[in-house]
Structure 1
Amino acid sequence: MWGRKARQWRVMAKEALNRTVIVAKFLSFLHITNTYICFPTLVYGPSMLPTLNMRGDVLLSERVSHRLGKVGLGDVVLVRSPENPRKTLTKRIIGVEGDRVIFMVNPGSCDVSATLVVPKGHVWVQGDNIYASKDSRHFGPVPYGLIQGKAFFRVWPPDAFGLLEQ
């Protein structure tokens, strides 16, 4: 009788170990995918109107392009805020290194424009809604190293499901 119970415990322990290994592999796969390849993000607020909804969109962003230097004009990117490293901003790239950017200083309140050449290793980012966006007009060109990903696909809301337009 004890031999039979011992065998049952061994079978159960082996099965538990196998399931634990499967769960660990799955969690490792999720971690690697989220850290190095692709990740979901919730984006909300008025700065990217009308491209993105004010109440929130769920976007898929990939982490490969910016590491290979493959982001450019018109791309929607996730950028670590130069002013608050705990915040991530979603903006559109308006200028890359060497581009001359003409931008409105305080749009809506005065018609003053400024011109700047984007320095090497930086990008100029702005929200699509320039009247409600804190972007490069406020904190200057963003170092390439602060780009966290390039948004490419909208998952939510369902009526806007699909690739993001440039």
Structure 2
Amino acid sequence: MGVLNYMSQWRSLAKEAMDRTAIVAKFLCLLHVTNTYVCSSTLVYGPSMLPTLNVTGDVVLAEHVSHRLGKVGLGDLVLVRSPGDPKKTVTKRVVGMEGDKVSFFVDPMSSDICRTAVVPKGHVWIQGDNAYVSNDSRHFGPVPYGLIQGKVFLRVWPLDSIGFLGE
């Protein structure tokens, strides 16, 4: 009788462990899907988006639906896989859509070198709000639409700057 009681307790314990493991696994799957396909938080830092975003770092929320539906437009802040370093994600503003003619200064410090580019089909032109220090389409050209990972819509940190980000 003692062995059967021990086996029964063992099965009960194993079932409880499996149930809890299944709950944790489902939660992690939901978290992954939400973070990848719905909405995620990102730490953005550096001077390229001054004055919109802080140099010391802002935590922003980006949604991952609009760009999949082709709903990214001029003035939107976007998360983009860096064309120069695919391990990095950059935050920039869309300033040109496919077919747009974009004029820009190669070196913003010197206003005598102005270029014009036409954004090709399936691409966007992105630039940082702080042209003096931003590494953007002026340096690496138009960015394929497929490199857009999300549209930034809300700053959640620091708390005194919380709010929606738009044009």
TM-score, structure 2 normalization? 0.94
How many Å separate the matches in 1 of 2:103 and 2:94?
13
Decide which moves more: 27-36 or 121-130.
27-36
- Asked if 1:15 is matched to 2:16, the reply is yes
* Partner AA of 1:10 in structure 2: R
Tell me what 1:87 maps to: 88
Equivalent residue number for residue 155 of structure 1: 156
| Residues 1:2 and 2:3 are matched in the alignment | yes
Q: Distance in 2 between matches of 1:46 and 1:147?
A: 21
Cα deviation for residue 27 of structure 1 reads 0.6
* Kept in 2: contact 1:123–1:143 (CA 8 A): yes
Secondary structure of 2:91's counterpart equals strand
Question: For the Cα contact (< 8 Å) 1:79–1:90, is it kept in 2?
Answer: yes
Q: Structure 1 residue 36: deviation in Å?
A: 1.6
Displacement, 1:2?
2.7
| 1:61 has 2:62 as partner | yes
Instruction: Identify which range, 11-20 or 46-55, moves more after superposition.
Output: 11-20
Tell me the distance in 2 between the aligned counterparts of 1:69 and 1:52: 25
Counting aligned pairs with the same residue, the percent is 68
Secondary structure at the counterpart of residue 59 of structure 1: strand
SS in 2 for 1:149: strand
Structure 1 gap ranges (5+): none
Q: Is the 8 A contact 1:36 1:64 kept in 2?
A: yes
Partner of 1:140: 141
What is the distance in 1 between the residues matched to 2:33 and 2:111?
48
**What is the aligned length?**
166
Partner SS for 1:132: coil
Question: Secondary structure in 2 aligned to 1:133?
Answer: coil
Unaligned segments of structure 2, at least 5 residues: none
Contact map agreement 1:105 1:111 (CA 8 A) in 2: no
In the TM superposition, residue 90 of structure 1 has moved relative to its aligned partner by 0.7
SS at match of 1:2: helix
Residue range with higher mean Cα deviation, 90-99 or 80-89: 80-89
Question: What TM-score, normalized by structure 1, do the two folds share?
Answer: 0.94
Within a 5 Å distance, the mapping from 1:33-72 to structure 2 comes to 33-72=34-73
Give, in angstroms, the shift of residue 162 of structure 1.
Answer: 2.2
Report which stretch shifted further, 43-52 or 100-109: 100-109
- 2:11 aligned counterpart, secondary structure: helix
